[in-house]
Amino acid sequence: MPQHASPDSPFSLANLMAAVTDAVPDRIALVAGPRRLTYRALLDRSTRLARHLVTTGVRPGENVAILSFNRAEWVESFLGVLRAGAVPVNVNYRYVAGELRHVLSDSHAVALIAEDSLATTVSAVRSDLPRLRHVLLLEDGTERDASLDGADYEESLAAHGPDSGHGAVELPGTSGDDHYLLYTGGTTGYPKGVLWRQADVFRAAVERREPGAPRAGTPRDVAERAARCFPLRMLVLGPLMHAAGQWNALSMLLCGKSVVLSTDRSFRADRVLELAHREGVHAVQLVGDAMARPLARHLLTEPDLCPDLTSVRSGGTPLTPSVRGLWRAWREDVALADAYGGSETGVCGSATAPDEHTSVADSTDRRSFTMGGSIAVLDGALRPLPPGSVEVGRIARTGRIPLGYYNDPIATARTFPTDGEGRRWALSGDYGTRAGDGSIVLLGRGSVVINTAGEKVYPEEVEAVLKAHPSVEDVIVVPAPDERLGQRVTALVSLASGSSPDEGALRAHCRVRLAGFKVPRTVHFVDRVRRTAVGKQDYRWAASVAGEDPPAPAVPTSPLSGSLRN
């Protein structure tokens, strides 16, 4: 290793993918719609894309945006950009023109890979993006916008295949010190790019190992683990444009396992389970009750589906007891896990097992998470709170954390502060307490905390209690203005089929489980609780229904102000 190279240099994501491919070249890496790619084929196609990007002038360290639904080409593009020494930029396919302009401009993207139907929005803002030099278009059955003057994705890859007659294009070397950029929407404002080193995001979010096993010392260690592993098949339901879907897919690939993607553009439980059954998936990655509840209900109508499915992993929001009960009713031994983390913190830990003696009806949400040693609950002076402390603090991570927000030094200083001992922290947008056993009890998002008559109410706690009521299908809790209290706790509730609105019954249900100030003073019954593309509650929509503008970020009065929740 050159004298100036860091110990992390070998741990670029491209190097790791190449090492795993050498170990398991003929194992299935990716299933997406009709396409089935072995590790060898996936590496070959991503390498062709890398060569195309290099020939078009994309230089190491430049940013290349990906605007696509879940499909094989998303994964190929992500890996190909990395192999070109460039930095992939995830773009939300739900963005309107203004949001799209912001992300492409803020990220300094020099190239864009986009589906034809999504690229039409780019046309409206292309004149505002002087850095955008090249567009690569993915066919999706819609008419192509000729005004974009984009190259065809498949033709571009074919031009760098073994039979193309073109000479090999030299690709740059890559390093674990190279950048990884993840744009996150947050609760308010325009999206921000979280900038990591690749070696750090591998360690903090992607690397998987058996309990007690040491971390990989070299890419060869990663490859050898992949060769020895059981070729588990995981159905990744989270969009690849977001951290949960992207990190789960990447962690599977770097373990030598198989990723199955649903290429449907909307969520249908019957279609998802048909795919899971056909592909014999062993694990499903999903986002909270919004996905888990309809899947479990469908399985209860066809209990012989998915005989190989043994594990369900939720990220972004925990599964509530009522939904866990549905899964247990389908198959008692199914493993249910809640992961905790965020774009700015990586994967921090997992939920501890619920008390087996607590009934679904009487329990609230499972909020106690076992965290790694780099995770702490901080007080207002950035000091870690001891186990057993009753003080509420900010959940944070130190050690392998992001470099900051791309192109935003002010937000970086607020979210990644340095304490009095010189340690940098990544501040989560969540608050919690440290239990006596060292686990962390998650209370909820600081950016939407409700201040009612001086008492703080964390919406997730109230939501969990309401979801345990048999009449409730889904719920979101937000503040609404109140002349006397300042803010009042307001719940937007969608009811289970066959249930009738009964605000009094819901309030009575909450009153025996929550302190009086936490019980919703107002309940709005809605046909459907709106959620984002990844299944999280849409707080902007809910605030407008409740008659309140979306909550603003906290005023920076201490080192703990600001929000980073994805």
* CATH number of domain containing 120: 3.40.50.980
- Is the same domain home to 391 and 533? no
Q: Residue 86's pLDDT is what?
A: 98
Confidence check: pLDDT of 2 > 90: no
Q: Residue 551's pLDDT is what?
A: 42
Q: Residue 209's pLDDT is what?
A: 85
Band (394; pLDDT cuts 50, 70, 90): very high
- Is the same domain home to 470 and 441? no
Q: For 292-310, what is each residue's pLDDT tens digit?
A: 989 999 999 999 999 999 9
- Is the same domain home to 378 and 504? no
- Is the same domain home to 473 and 394? no
Contact 316, 342 (CB under 8 A): no
More confident residue, 315 or 175: 175
Query: Residue 497: which domain range?
Result: 458-545
Span 130-142, average pLDDT: 97
Q: Residue 216's pLDDT is what?
A: 95
- Is the same domain home to 390 and 514? no
Q: Residue 554's pLDDT is what?
A: 35
Confidence check: pLDDT of 564 > 80: no
- Is the same domain home to 495 and 405? no
Q: Residue 449's pLDDT is what?
A: 76
How far is it, in rounded angstroms, from Cα 29 to Cα 36?
8
Two tokens at 513? Answer: 């489980």
Question: Any residues with CB less than 8 A from the CB of 16 and at least 6 apart, and which?
Answer: 202, 219, 222, 254
Strand partners, 488: 480
Span 21-26, average pLDDT: 98
β-pairing, 368-371 vs 346-351, is antiparallel
Q: What percent of the chain has pLDDT over 70?
A: 90
Span 520-546, average pLDDT: 83
Q: What percent of the chain has pLDDT over 90?
A: 66
- Is the same domain home to 105 and 192? yes
How far is it, in rounded angstroms, from Cα 112 to Cα 119?
9
Q: For 408-453, what is each residue's pLDDT tens digit?
A: 999 999 999 999 999 999 999 888 899 998 999 888 776 677 878 7
Q: Residue 549's pLDDT is what?
A: 46
Span 452-477, average pLDDT: 86
User: In this structure, what CATH number is given to the domain that contains residue 483?
Assistant: 3.30.300.30
Position 387 in a domain: yes
Q: Residue 351's pLDDT is what?
A: 80
pTM of the model: 0.83
- Is the same domain home to 188 and 147? yes
Q: Which of 143, 146, 42 is nearest to 135 (CA)?
A: 146
Q: Residue 364's pLDDT is what?
A: 44
- Is the same domain home to 371 and 480? no
Q: Residue 447's pLDDT is what?
A: 64
Q: For 189-212, what is each residue's pLDDT tens digit?
A: 578 999 999 999 999 999 998 877
Which residue among 154, 179, 197 closes a domain? 197
Number of domains into which the chain is organized: 3
More confident residue, 53 or 479: 53
**DSSP states of 460-489:** HHHHHHHHTSTTEEEEEEEEEEETTTEEEE
Position 151 in a domain: yes
- Is the same domain home to 482 and 379? no
Strand partners, 195: 181, 404
Confidence check: pLDDT of 180 > 70: yes
Q: For 333-376, what is each residue's pLDDT tens digit?
A: 999 999 989 899 999 988 844 544 344 334 444 468 888 889 99
Position 145 in a domain: yes
**DSSP states of 290-351:** HHHHHHHHHHHHSTTS-TT--EEEEESSPPPHHHHHHHHHH-TT-EEEEEEEETTTEEEEEE
Q: What rounded mean pLDDT belongs to the chain?
A: 88
- Is the same domain home to 62 and 144? yes
Span 11-36, average pLDDT: 98
